[in-house]
Amino acid sequence: MSPSVGVMADLRIGTLLESEEHTPAHLLAKRLNRHTFWCGQSGSGKTYALGVLLEQVLLHTRLPLVILDPNSDFVKLSDVRQDAPVDAADALGSRDIRVFRPGGDNPLKIRMLDMPLRSQAAVVHLDPILDAEEYNAMLSLATEYPRIKDHHLVPHLRASGAEVMHRLALRLENLGVAEWGLWAWGGRSVTDDIDERPDATVVDLGGFATQAESRAAALAVLDHLWTHREERVGRLIVIDEAHNLCSPDPVSAVDQRLTELIVQIAAEGRKYGLWLLLSTQRPSKVHPNALSQCDNLALMRMSSPRDLDELAEIFGYAPGALLERSPMFAQGQALFAGGFIAQPSLVQMGDRLTHEGGIDVPVPIR
């Protein structure tokens, strides 16, 4: 066993590949205070492996996790498997893991008013210059939100009698935004829970009727974390399928805000304790300014030479000879490099201790 692996480390994620006696592989928990990029083609096992790491973080650290979960993959993170070792099962069972799902028992809600005006405007496709009057009306409306009862925003705007309020009502109605189940209006928001610093907050972005609602939820959470950055609470912000929220070419105003915010957190968040873990299939699908700030790399199977070249260029600390092995990786195998591992290593990921939210659909065999 390599003496540098395992001694100063604590997150046991699997075994070192090609080690004779299944030498445990560890990541350094204290180096999660950097941004991490997790990459691999579809089906390589990223989400499963991410779950293995997050379980270890829950077991061995007090680092609060905020998980933006686009496919409802982590909604069972508090559901320990029967075959998990008893001590781990007991420890995980005692962790404060809060799962918020659209329309669920613990509904995912956001107070629209809490979002910065720019983000509110982006949600309703308002431009501060092109739609100056409506934008301004929205600004003036902010103080009234606490007095507007659930789902009565449109009638409230109409009742004002002002032409500009009527136009705003029309816009909200046409976009269907006022009817979104996402809005908490005066009620409790998922950000209130995040502020209580549970061990993990799972934000299930998967169950919304429209993509717009899902994106607005993600934007509200990230806005909140960024707005409160001065509190300097160390947090790991996990974004699976990060290309959804941090595209290099965002089109809609909300997507532009999302990319802008994630790039900003990537550039400046570290010192405020906002640490990103971005997972995606191809490096080119995530904004390069977010990627270039990642000091930790986890690479699973990746057969595209172009993608591997790009990774080699961005992540100079990952040895080329190990990167080249990636097309041959079996599911669950990964290269780890960067600050969070004592030395670049090939790893066979261990088993999950908790249940996966969504597993692959099997082909029905006759």
Binding stretches for Mg ion (CB under 5 A): 46-47
Among 36, 47, 244, 326, binds ligand ATP (CB under 6 A): 47
Look-up: residue for tokens 């550039």? 267
Interaction partner, residue 359 (ligand ATP, Mg ion, none; CB < 5-8 Å by kind): ligand ATP
Q: Which 255-314 residues touch ligand ATP, going by CB under 6 A?
A: 281
Query: Which among 275, 221, 218, 293 is positioned nearest to 250, based on CA atoms?
Result: 218
Q: Rank residues 268 and 351 by Cβ distance to ligand ATP and give the closer one.
A: 351
Minimal distance, residue 243 CB to Mg ion, in Å: 11
Q: Please choose, out of 38-46, 57-65, 105-113, 120-128, the segment that lies near ligand ATP by the rule CB under 6 A.
A: 38-46
Exposure letters 38-68 (e unless 16+ CB within 10 A, then b): bbbbeebbbbbbbbbbbbbbbbebebbbbbb
Q: Calculate the alpha carbon distances from 361 to 35, 50, 364 in Å.
A: 32, 20, 9
Rounded CA-CA distance 167/175 in Å is 12
**Residue 96 touches which of ligand ATP, Mg ion, none (CB < 5 to 8 A by kind)?**
none
What distance in Å separates the CA atoms of residue 41 and residue 64, rounded to the nearest whole number? 28
| Contact partner, 249, from Mg ion, ligand ATP, none, Cβ < 5-8 Å per class | none
CB of 335 to ligand ATP, least distance (A): 14
Nearer to ligand ATP, 259 or 280 (CB): 280
Cα separations (Å) of 227 from 86, 201, 322?
Answer: 40, 18, 39
The two tokens of residue 347 are: 């790893």
Residue 110: which of 185, 28, 208 has the closest Cα?
185
- Cα atoms found within 13 Å of the Cα of residue 336, Cβ hemisphere only: 29
Question: Is position 42 an interface residue for ligand ATP (rule: CB under 6 A)?
Answer: yes
| Residue 221: contacted member of ligand ATP, Mg ion, none (CB under 5 to 8 Å, by partner type) | none
Size of the site for ligand ATP (CB under 6 A): 15
- Nearest approach in angstroms of CB 38 to Mg ion is 10
Alpha-carbon distance 108 to 191, whole Å? 10
DSSP state of 327: G
CB of 126 to ligand ATP, least distance (A): 34
Q: Which of 9, 45, 204, 265 binds ligand ATP (CB under 6 A)?
A: 45
Structure tokens at 211: 């993509």
Q: Which of 70, 332, 338, 357 binds ligand ATP (CB under 6 A)?
A: 332
Give the residue, chosen from 25, 38, 44, 54, that forms a contact with ligand ATP under the rule CB under 6 A.
44
The listed partner (ligand ATP, Mg ion, none) that binds 146, CB under 5 to 8 Å by sort, is none
Instruction: Identify which of residues 123 and 349 has a Cβ nearer to ligand ATP in the complex.
Output: 349
CA atoms within 13 A on the CB side of 132: 1
Residue ranges binding ligand ATP (CB under 6 A): 40, 42-48, 281, 331-332, 349, 356, 359-360
